C-alpha cells in the first residue's frame, strides 16, 4: 500500500514544455512514473520525451485515465491551470509553482474541496513512493532519488522539499526506509496540511511511524498537535523544528514565504511545547530522527 499514489498511478504535466518541467518529466519517466500527457496551450501535437503534448487538459481526460496532474506553469497562470485540472475531473493535483497570492491559493483550495480534489502545494516538490512512483520533482535526478528513497516503514512530510530528501536519506541509511514522502509546500496557503494527511498514513499498512519537518510560522503544527490529541493514532510521530534561533528574533521571515512569525503562537518554542504536550517526539538534531523513530516503534 501507499499514500495517494501507487504503481498504476497515471498523471499529466501542465506546463510540460517549460524548462523545469522538461527536466523533471525526463527524470520521472526514468524513475518509472506513468506520465500519459502534457499540456501547453498552443503547442499541442508535439511531444516531450515521447509524452504527447495537448492544448487542454480535457483533451487528455476524454481519452485516457488520468489520476493526477503536476502544475508547473508561470505564476500568473497557475490558478487557471488548477481550475482547468479540477474541471476536467482530475482528483490529485501537485502545484510546484510558488508564490501564488493567498487569495488565489485559497480559491484553489476551496474549489478543490468542493470537488473532492486533493491538492499538494503550492510551492512543493510533490510525492514519492520509493521504487513505485514519483509524482512531481521531489528527489532530483532519478539516480540520486533511488539512493535517497528506499522502501520502508516511515512516512515523511515536510514544508521543505530539500529537507524531505535529507530526512528520507537518513531514514534509508539507518535501514528504516520510507513508505511515502510528501513535500507539502512552503507557501502560506497550501492544500494539504500535516493533519489533513495523517489519516491517509493511518490507513497505510506499510507505514509504522511518521516524521515531519517543521519551520517557523503557520498553524500546521498546532493543528497536528490537536489531531494527535483527538485521535488515538497507531502511528508515533517524530518531528524536527527548524529555526529555533528565531525565538529571539520575532517578526522576521525565514526560508519559505509561509514562515513569517506573526504571533507568539507561531514561534518554534511554542510549536515544540504544543507537539510534546500532544505526545509527539521532537528531535534536537536532524541526525537524531532515525534513532528516535526506532525507539518509538521498538525496532
Distance CA 192, CA 180 (A): 15
Other CB atoms within 10 Å distance of the CB of residue 33: 22
Annotated active-site positions, please? 256
Q: Is 277 helix (H, G, I), strand (E, B) or coil?
A: helix
The three three-digit cell numbers of residue 298, written as one number: 521498538
**DSSP line for 102-145:** HHHHHHHHHHHHHTT-EEE-SS--EEEETTTEEEESTTSSHHHH
103, burial (CB in 10 Å: exposed 0-12, middle 13-18, buried 19+): exposed
Q: Is 230 helix (H, G, I), strand (E, B) or coil?
A: helix
Distance CA 145, CA 158 (A): 17
Residues near 20 by beta carbon (within 8 Å), at least 6 away in sequence? 72, 96, 137
Distance CA 15, CA 5 (A): 21
Residues near 233 by beta carbon (within 8 Å), at least 6 away in sequence? 198, 202
Q: Which of 140, 138, 132, 258 is nearest to 190 (CA)?
A: 258
Amino acid at each position: 500500500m501507499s499514500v495517494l499514489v501507487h504503481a498504476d498511478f497515471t498523471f499529466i504535466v501542465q506546463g510540460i514544455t517549460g524548462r523545469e518541467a522538461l527536466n523533471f518529466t525526463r527524470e520521472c519517466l526514468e524513475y518509472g512514473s506513468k506520465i500519459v500527457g502534457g499540456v501547453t496551450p498552443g503547442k499541442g501535437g508535439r511531444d516531450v520525451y515521447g509524452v504527447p503534448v495537448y492544448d487542454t487538459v480535457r483533451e487528455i481526460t476524454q481519452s485516457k485515465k488520468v489520476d493526477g496532474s503536476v502544475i508547473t506553469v508561470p505564476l500568473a497562470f497557475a490558478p487557471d491551470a488548477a481550475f482547468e485540472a479540477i474541471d476536467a475531473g482530475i482528483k490529485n493535483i501537485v502545484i510546484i509553482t510558488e508564490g501564488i497570492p493567498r487569495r488565489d491559493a485559497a480559491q484553489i483550495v476551496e474549489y478543490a474541496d468542493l470537488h473532492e480534489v486533493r491538492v499538494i502545494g503550492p510551492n512543493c516538490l510533490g510525492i514519492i513512493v520509493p521504487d513505485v512512483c514519483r509524482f512531481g520533482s521531489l528527489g532530483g535526478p532519478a539516480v540520486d532519488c533511488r539512493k535517497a528513497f528506499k522502501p520502508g516503514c516511515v512516512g515523511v512530510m515536510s514544508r521543505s522539499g530539500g529537507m524531505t530528501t535529507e530526512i528520507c536519506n537518513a531514514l534509508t541509511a539507518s535501514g528504516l526506509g520510507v513508505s511515502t514522502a510528501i513535500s507539502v509546500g512552503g507557501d502560506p496557503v497550501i492544500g494539504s496540511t500535516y493533519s489533513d494527511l495523517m489519516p491517509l498514513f493511518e490507513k497505510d499498512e506499510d507505514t509504522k511511524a511518521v516524521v515531519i519537518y517543521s519551520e517557523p510560522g503557520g498553524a500546521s503544527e498546532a493543528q497536528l498537535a490537536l489531531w494527535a490529541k483527538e485521535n488515538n493514532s497507531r502511528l508515533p510521530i517524530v518531528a524536527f523544528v527548524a529555526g529555533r534561533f528565531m525565538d529571539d528574533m520575532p517578526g522576521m521571515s525565514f526560508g519559505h514565504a509561509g514562515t513569517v512569525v506573526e504571533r507568539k503562537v507561531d514561534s518554534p518554542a511554542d510549536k515544540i511545547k504544543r507537539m510534546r504536550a500532544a505526545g509527539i517526539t521532537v528531535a534536537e538534531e536532524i541526525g537524531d530522527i532515525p534513532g528516535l523513530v526506532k525507539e518509538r516503534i521498538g525496532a
